[in-house]
Chain A
Amino acid sequence: MKSILLAEDEPVLRMLVVDSLEDEGYDIDEACDGEEAIDKIKTKDYDLIILDYMMPKMTGIEVIEQARLLPDKSAAKILMLSAKNQQAEQDKVMAAGADGFMSKPFSPLDLIDKVEEMLRG
C-alpha cells in the first residue's frame, strides 16, 4: 500500500483530500503545517507528499527545500497544491523541485488521477 503524506492547514480541505484518497486505498498521514510535515518525513518514507503552498510557519516550497536536504528522502514524489494558479507560480514550484502541481479549487477526481499517475511513473 502506497503511503502518502498530506500537509494542509485548512481542516476542511484536509478532510476532502483524505476522504478522496483513502477510498482509493492509499495510506495517508496528515500534517497541519510545514514543520509537522518535515517531522513526519523524517520518520517515514512516503511514496508521495502532497503539500499546500500557503501554510503557517513554512511554505510548501520551504518544505521541499528542507526535505530535499534530508538523506535518503529523495525518492518521494511531491505534489503541490496552490491557490495561486498563474503559470509563473507553477513554474516556480516546479523549479523548486515539485513533481506535480494542482491549483485550488481542484476536482477530487482529478486529484486521484494525478496521484495515481505520479505513483505509477
Chain B
Amino acid sequence: MDKLSSYYKKSITRQFMSFMLLALVLILCGAGFVLWSTVNIIQDYEDKSKINREKQELVSDIANHANQIILRTRGYYVYQTEFEYNQIFSEKAVLDEAMAAFKQLSLNDTEQELITSIEDFFTQFFNEVLPQGIAFANANDYASLRSFISAEADNPVNDLLDYSQRFEKTVQKIASDENAKLVTGLTYQGGIFIGYILLVLILSIFITRKIATDIGHPLGQLTKQASRFAEGEMFQVDYVKREDEIGGLSRAFNEMMTQIQSKEEELLSQNEELQAQQDELQAQQEELHSAMEQMERNEQYLEKRNLLVQSLSNTLDKQELLGSIIRHIVKIVGYDKGLIVMMNAQHDYASVGVSDKGAAQFIRTIDDGLIMRAAQTKEPYQIKRACVESEQGYHEQQMYASELVIPILNAEDEMVACMMLTKLGQPIAKHEQIEIVGMARQVSLAFDKLALYEVSERQRQMTSDMLNTIQEGVQLLDLEGRTLQINKKMSEFFGFLEPLGETMDLPLDEFLSQLSSNVVEPEMLRSFIVEWVSDGGLNEINWMNYEITEPDRRYIQIYCEPLYREGVKFGTLLVHRDITKEYEVDRMKSEFVSTVSHELRTPLASVLGFAELLLHRELKPERQRKYVSTIHQEARRLTTLINDFLDLQRMESGKQTYDMKPISLTTLINEVIELQRIGTTVHEIVWESDGTSMILMADQDKMQQVFTNLLSNAIKYSPEGGRITISSRIEAGQHVISIQDEGLGIPDNALPKLFNKFYRVDNSDRREIGGTGLGLAIVKEIITRHRGTIEVDSKLGEGSTFTIRFPVQESQQPRMEADGDVQEQLPESSIDVMLIENDYNLSIMLRDELQASGFRVHLYTQGQKALEEIEELAPDIVVIDLMLEPDTSGWQVIEQMKKSESLQNTPIIISSAFDEKDKAAQWGIREFLVKPYLPGRLTATIHQILRKG
C-alpha cells in the first residue's frame, strides 16, 4: 500500500490520470443504469398493451364470427340457399381458429368461463339447434320456427356480444392504466437522472478542486516566486521537498536561481573587464581615426604623385617630357602658372600660362636672381608679390600671387633644372611645398632616365652606325636561326631584307627560301647555315664562299662565329664578306703567273732549241753564227723580261725606292734621243722644246727609263721609219711632253688596256717586233709616282702620240718635292709652323709660300711676343730670323727652346742674312738658310726635315 502511495506521490500525471479514469468509470456506470431502467419500463408497458390489444382483437373476432354464424343461419332459414349454408360453416372454421388462438393466451377466470360457455353454446348449436331449425325451415313450418328461435333468446351469443363490448372497455381501461403507470415510471426515472447529473457535478467539483490544490496553487506560487526572483529578490523556494513534477520544477528553479546568481556575479566581473577594454578600444579608435586622416592625405598625395609619374614615363623626348612635367604639376597642385627650365646649354624649357617673352626673360637671367639663389641654396623658396594686371582679371581690389621656386637636383646634388610655380590670390601652404619638392625628386629621376636613355640611344646609334659602316654584311641569328639584326651592307647583298629594317625576327626557313633569289647554287649556302645553326661551333670549317647575282655579280665569303654571353651560347654571327676584289686579284694573279710562264717559256724554248741544234747537228758556220746570235738575242730578251718584271713588282709593291733629286728633264730627254738615234737609221727624231727649263724632283734613272721606253716603242712600232717628234711645253700649270710617231698606230679596242701588264696588241706584225708587254706598265707606274699622268692618242696606221704631264712647280727654282709616300703620311695641314721674321715684306712672302704648301703658319714679327707665346703654341717647326728687335735676337728664342723640355726637340730652321752656321751647329741646328733665298727653298727644307722624321 505504501508502495502504491509513493508511486502516486511521485507523479501528478499519474494521480490525475487515475482520478479521471475512476470518474469516467463511475459516470459510465450511472449512465448505463439509468438507460437500462428506462428501457425496462418502456418494454414492460409495450408488452402488456400488446397482449390486451391481441385479446381485444380476438374477442372482437370471435364475437363478430359468432354473430355471423347466427346471421347466416337465420339467412338460410329464410332463403334456404346453398351459399348461405356453406357460409355458416366457413364462419365456423374461422371462429374455431380465433377461439383456439384466444385459448393460447393467459386468461383470467372470467375469460376462461366466457370462452367455455361460447364453446358449449356452439357445440350445442351445431349439434341440436341447427339441425332442428333446418328441419323446420325445410318443412316451411315457420311458425314452429319462430317459436323455436324465440326460445333461443337467452343464448350465450348475446352474452358474448355483451362481453365483447365489455371486454373492449376493459382493455381500454387497462391500456389507460398502463399508460398512467408508464408516466409514473418515467417520472421516477427522470428523478434518478437528475440525481445522477448532480453526482457527476459533485465529482467534477471535487476533481477540479483537487487539481487546483495540487497543481494550480503550487504553480501560482512558483510563478510569483519567479517574478520575485526576476525582480532580484532572493529566497528559499517552496515545494522542493515534493517528489512529483512540481517538486522537480521547484528544485530545477531553485538550482537555476543559484546558477543564474553565480553567473550573474561572473558576468558582472566580466562586464567590468569589458568596460575597461571598451575604454581602451575607444582610445585606439581615436588614434586610428587620426592615422586614417593622415593616410588619406598621403593617399591623395600619392595619387598626385602617381599621375605625375605616369606622365613622366610616357615619353623620352626631352621637349615633350618637359611639357608633360610642367602641365601635370600645375594641374596636380592646381596652380595657375608654371615654368621649368633645364640648366643645359640650350636651356630647354616648357611652361604653362607663361608667354614666350616672359619665359625668355626668365631664361635670360638664368645666371642671376631667382634661379641663382635656387642653384646656390638648393632649397625651394617662396615669394609673395602683387598680381600684375593680366593676373588681376576683373578684380579691382589688389590681389597677391605666391610663387615657389624649386631647384631640381640630380643624384650628385647639382641643379639640373629649375621650376617656378605661381598661385594667384592664395598663399602656398607648407604641405603643398613639401608635395611639390617630392615631385621635383620624381622629375629629377625622370631627367636621369632621360639622360640614360640619351646615352644608350647614342650608344645604340653608334653601334648601328658602326655596323652599317662595316663593309661586310653582318647578320645575327638566335639559337633557332631566326635573323634578329642585320647591317646595311647585308641588306645591300640581300635586297629582300631591306624592307625589314635593321632589327627583325625573320625565321630561318624564310631567310633560306629567299636566298635562291640572288644566290648562285643556294643549296650549299643553305646547308652550311643550317649546319651552323644546328650544331654551331662544333664545325671545324667556319667559312665558305658563294656567289650572288644581285645587285651585281659578287663573290662573298661567309664565316660564322658562335656568340657567347657568360659562357652560354645565345646565337650565331654570320659575316658576309665581299671578296670580289680578292677573288679578282687571285684570278689575275694566277693569270699573271700563267702569262709570265708563257712569256718566259717562249725565249727559253728558242735558247734551248737552238743550243740543242748546235750541239747535235753538224751545221754550216753561217747557221751556227745565226743560231748563236739568236740565242744571245733571246737570252737578252729573257733578261730584260725578268728585269722589267722585277722592276714592276717592286714598284707595285711600293718597295721601289726613288732617289728624288732635282733633275733637268730637258737634258735627260736630249740624252735619251741621242742614244736612240744610234739604233736607227730610218727614223728622223725631232726635239721641239719651247725653251723653258724643265727642272723637277725626280729619280734620274727612272725618268730615263720612261723616255727610253717611249722612244724605243715609237721606233719599234714604226718599222717603216718616219718622223718621231718629241715636244715639251707648259700648259695650264703643267709640263706637257709628247712623243709622236708615224708608225702602226694602236687599234681603238686596245687603247684602254695598253698600260696593263703583259698586254700586247694582238697583231702578228707586232710579234715580229718583240717585247715583254711590261714597258708601258712600267712607264705609267713611274710617271704616277712622280705625280704625273700619261695618256695616248692613236689612229691605226697613222701613228700614236703619248702625252706626259707633270705639275709645274711654283718657282722655277728646283723644288724639293717630297715623294708621295711622305706626303701622305704627313699632311701639311696638320703641321704648325711658327715663323718669326721681323722684315715685314719677307715675312708676308714666306708666309704665303708656306700657306700655299698647305702648312698652318703662325707669324710673329716681334721676338718678344714670340718668346712669350712659344710655349703655349707648341709648334712643330720653328723658322726663325736671327735679327729681331734691337734688344731681342733669334738666339734668345733658340736658347729658350733648348731649355724647355717640350720644345727642345722641335726642329728649327734659321733664316738669316748672316752666315752663322757654326754657332747654329753648336745648338745642333743644321738648317740654315742664308738670305736672300727663294721661298721654295724654305718649303723644301721643311719637307726634308719632315721626311727625316
Contacts and interface: CB of A to CB of B under 8 A. Distances in A.
Interface in A56-86: 56-57, 83-84
A84 B767 contact: no
B598 interface: yes
Interface stretch (B1-9, B132-140, B317-325, B601-609): B601-609
A20 interface: yes
Contacts of B768: 11
A36 B765 CA distance: 12
Contact of B612 (A11, A13, A57, A107): A107
Nearest to B633: A12
B597 interface: yes
Given A83-B598, A83-B601, A20 B609 contact: yes
B630 A15 contact: yes
A13 B609 contact: yes
Nearest to A19: B613
Interface in A24-42: 32-33, 36
A19 B614 CA distance: 12
Contacts of A54: 598
A108 to B, nearest CB: 5
Nearest to B762: A56
A1 to B, nearest CB: 20
A107 B762 contact: no
B616 interface: yes
Contacts of A32: 764, 767
Contact of B598 (A11, A84, A107): A84
Given A12-B630, A84-B597, A57 B602 contact: no
B213 to A, nearest CB: 151
Given A16-B606, A16-B609, A56-B764, A105 B630 contact: no
A109 interface: yes
A78 to B, nearest CB: 19
A93 B129 CA distance: 203
A56 B763 CA distance: 6
Given A84-B597, A84-B598, A109-B612, A11 B605 contact: no
B543 interface: no
Contacts of B193: none
B764 A13 contact: no
B642 to A, nearest CB: 16
Contact of A105 (B594, B605, B623, B633): B605
B617 interface: yes
**Residue from B594, B606, B607 having most chain A Cβ neighbours under 10 A:** B606
Contact of B601 (A20, A36, A104): A104
Interface residues of A, number: 24
B601 to A, nearest CB: 4
Main secondary structure of the interface of A (DSSP, over half): loop
Nearest to B769: A11
Residue of A15, A16, A57, A109 with most partner-chain B CB within 10 A:
A16
Contact of A57 (B605, B610, B762): B762
A32 B767 CA distance: 9
A23 interface: yes
A91 interface: no
B601 A105 contact: yes
Nearest to A103: B601
Q: How large is the interface on B (under 10, 10 to 19, 20 to 34, 35 or more residues)?
A: 20 to 34
A54 B594 CA distance: 12
Contact of B767 (A9, A20, A108): A9
Q: Which of A20, A23, A57, A108 has the most CB of B within 10 A?
A: A108
B617 A23 contact: yes
Contacts of A84: 594, 597-598
Contacts of A9: 764, 767
A76 B609 CA distance: 25
B290 to A, nearest CB: 103
B764 A83 contact: no
Contacts of A57: 762, 764
A11 B616 contact: no
A15 to B, nearest CB: 7
A36 B764 contact: yes
Nearest to B761: A56
B876 interface: no
Nearest to B604: A105
A88 to B, nearest CB: 12
Interface in B16-65: none
A20 B614 CA distance: 11
Contacts of A109: 612, 616
A105 B609 contact: yes
B365 to A, nearest CB: 88
Name the residue in A12, A54, A83 with the highest tally of chain B Cβ atoms < 10 Å from its Cβ.
A12
A10 B602 contact: yes
B178 interface: no
B84 interface: no
B634 interface: yes
Nearest to B598: A83
A83 B602 contact: yes
B870 to A, nearest CB: 68
Nearest to B597: A83
B623 to A, nearest CB: 8
Nearest to A15: B630
A16 B676 CA distance: 30
A105 B600 CA distance: 9
Nearest to B626: A15
A108 B630 CA distance: 15
A15 B767 CA distance: 14
A23 B633 CA distance: 23
Contacts of B612: 107-109
B613 A20 contact: yes
A107 B763 contact: no
A52 to B, nearest CB: 9
B41 to A, nearest CB: 168
Given A56-B763, A56-B764, A13 B594 contact: no
Leading 10 A-B pairs by shortest Cβ distance: A105-B605, A83-B601, A83-B598, A32-B764, A56-B762, A16-B609, A104-B605, A33-B764, A12-B606, A9-B767
Given A11-B767, A23-B617, 11 more contacts: A10-B767, A13-B602, A13-B605, A13-B609, A16-B610, A56-B762, A56-B764, A57-B764, A83-B605, A84-B597, A105-B609
